[in-house]
Amino acid sequence: MATGYGDSAATRSGSNGLAIAGLVCGIVGIFLFNFILGPLALIFGGVGLRNARRGGAGGSGMAMSAIVLGVVDIVLFVLVLALASSHGSFRWHIG
Q: Write the pLDDT tens digit of every residue in 22-67.
A: 999 999 999 999 899 999 999 999 999 998 888 766 788 899 999 9
Domain that holds residue 71: 17-86
Reduce the secondary structure of the chain to three states and give it as a string: CCCCCCCCCCCCCCCCHHHHHHHHHHHHHHHCCHHHHHHHHHHHHHHHHHHHHHCCCCCHHHHHHHHHHHHHHHHHHHHHHHHHHHCCCCCCCCC
Domains: count for the chain: 1
In a domain, 93, yes or no: no
Predicted structure pTM score: 0.72
In a domain, 3, yes or no: no
In a domain, 58, yes or no: yes
Q: Give the percent of the chain with pLDDT over 90.
A: 40
